[in-house]
Structure formats: C-alpha cells, structure tokens
Amino acid sequence: MESVITTTEPEASPASGDIRPSRPLTDIITSQVTLLASYLTPVMESDDAEAIHKMRVTTRRLQASLDLLQTAGDQKKIRKLKKKLRDWRRVLSPVRNYDVFLLVIEKEGASRSSKRRQSFEHLKSILQKRRARRLAKARRYLKHVNLAEICSKLGLDAELWAPKKSAVEADQSPAQETQTEGPHAQTAAPLPEIIGERAIALRAAERIEQRLSEFQLLAAQSHPTTNPAELHQLRIAAKRLRYLLELVSGMGYGDAVRALAWLRLLQDRIGDWHDLEAIEEEIISIVSRRKFLKENIGESSRMLQAASHLQSKKKTLVAKLFPVKVPRTLQASSRRLVRSLRRKPARPATNDPYNE
C-alpha cells in the first residue's frame, strides 16, 4: 500500500504533423518479456515478495501490449497468450494477498501493547503458513510456464527465454526441452510483421475509448455500500485504463501525466480499502473454524478485536474514497491520445499495408 504524490505538471500535447512512435511496440514487448523472465527466477527459488508483485504487474502490462496486436481473425492466437498471462497472474494473487496481509499485521502489531502484540504475532504465524502453502501450489503451476512459446509466436529473440530456463531447467523433461529449443521456435514471423503500425494505432484508439467507457460506468455506479467484489472491478478497470494510457504514451503519441497520477491514486486507495476488507474476511475465516475456536477462545477474541480495529480504519478510507469524482483531465487526455492515434501519418510507410 504505497502513497502517491499527485502532480500538477502540465501535460504535453503531441506536435502537429507526422506522429510517429518514439518507442516501437516491438521494443516495449521485448523489454516486458525480458522482465517477466527475470522475475520468474526469484519467484520459483526464493520468498521474494517484491518479485511476486513485479511479476504480476509485468503480466498485466504485457497483456495490455499484446492486446494491441490482436486482429479480428487473431491468426497469431494473441487471445490465448493473454489468457496464459492472466492465469499466471491469478495463481500468484493469493500469495500476493498474504504478503500484503503480513505487512499490515506487522505494522499494526508494532504500535500495540505487549499483550495485543502477541495476538498479532499469532495471526502473523498463521498467515505465514497459509502463504507458504499457496506459494508451493503456485510454483507447481508455474513450473510449466513456457516463455519460449511467447517468444516463438511473436518472433522474439530466443535469448529472452534464458533467464527462466536456467531457473527450472532441472524440472524440464527432454521432450519439453526439444519443444522449447526445436526448429519450431525459428519459424515464427518477426513481431513487426504480425500487424502494421497503423493498425496498432487504430486498435489502441479503439481500446482507449472502450476502457474509458467501462471505467466511467463503474465509477458512476460505485458508492459506500458497494459490494467489495464490484469495487474491486472498478480498481481493475482503473488499472487497465492506466496501463493502456502509459503504453500509448510510451509509444510517443502524447502524455497523460495528471490523468495517470489520478488513476494511480484511485487505484491505491481502493487497494488499501480492499486489503483491509480481505484481512477482515481472513480473520473471520480463521476464528470461525470450530477446532481453532475451541482451542484458542481467548486468542480468537483478541484476533476479532484486531479485526474490529482494522474495520474502523476501513471506514476512514471509505470517507476518502467516495464519491468517486472522475476529473475532466482523464477524459480530455484520453480523447487527445485517441486523436493522435487516429491522425494519419504524413508519409505512409512503404512496408506497412495498413497505411496504403
């Protein structure tokens, strides 16, 4: 749960005339796959909570990038690749939740009396055991992750696979190694040939309009009594819009500094609220078990008191969160980027059929 400093820095508008990406989508995707491979190693071999968090974020960013390559026919099976990334992220979600729970419990326990601190320590011990079980389950699933498949389908450099391969090489069967390093990996078309730059820009413009519309609808429907699951969907919608705007800005179509800062702030506030809601449910789940309650009646009472304290903090966050007032700059920035994306290049690229 990190703090966000909003900025009043003015947003730059793209210059008129020829709008060309400053960083090709090819380079962005290559960088994202490289990062994904680098995070997978510590996730599989250590208890690095930061690597788990960054791997999840990278799967979401890469998913947003691949989405711009998806055509109507989806000849390159981009939808299937996006689903794989979503599955990898979801298997790590419970582990990430426990990491957040433990941070909150540690922070709350440090400011309590010795007696109450013991309750937090007991809860911390239980959460650590649950985290360990979830991480073991996630690793069994991620052991079969095949980053080479993504590299092959997108025509990326096979070296991007190296960091992941070294982490779990001992667990791969000879058949799997053959599939990973075989001739099939050399037959994919290079990434720039999958879809033209013009088509990417038009796809991005369409997705910004769609993501903005989805987010605005959820924001308008949210209120203090909103179901936690629905509020979580609002946070996901904010993430999707934010990562898409960041991606388009990175490609050189314009900036959305203030809009991105606001989305990040909203995302963090909902995240803080959701974390406390989830911890509350976790504590109730623990103490409601008959065997645990029978053996730890006094401890259960103190754990519920801790949940009550967290609940009061949750109410304070609700006061800051609602009503969700979407700033005009978000819509203005999105529209400006959409115009930039749809503006025809001054000189059509001869190797881009979508510009003809």
Q: Averaged over 10-16, what is the pLDDT?
A: 38
The kind and range of the H/E element at 264 are helix 257-287
pLDDT of 231-253, one tens digit each? 889 999 999 999 999 999 999 99
Closest CA relative to residue 132, chosen from 106, 102, 169: 102
What is the tens place of the pLDDT at every residue in 297-322?
877 887 887 788 777 888 788 777 88
Whether 343 contacts 159, CB under 8 Å: no
Are 314 and 277 in contact by the 8 Å Cβ rule? The answer is yes
Per-residue pLDDT band for 100 (boundaries 50, 70, 90) equals very high
Query: Each residue of 103-150: pLDDT tens digit?
Result: 988 887 776 666 667 767 878 888 999 999 999 999 999 999 888 877
Q: Which of 75-89, 96-110, 191-205, 326-340 has the highest mean pLDDT?
A: 326-340
Percent of the chain exceeding pLDDT 70 equals 77
Dist. CA 19–CA 84, nearest whole Å: 33
pTM: 0.79
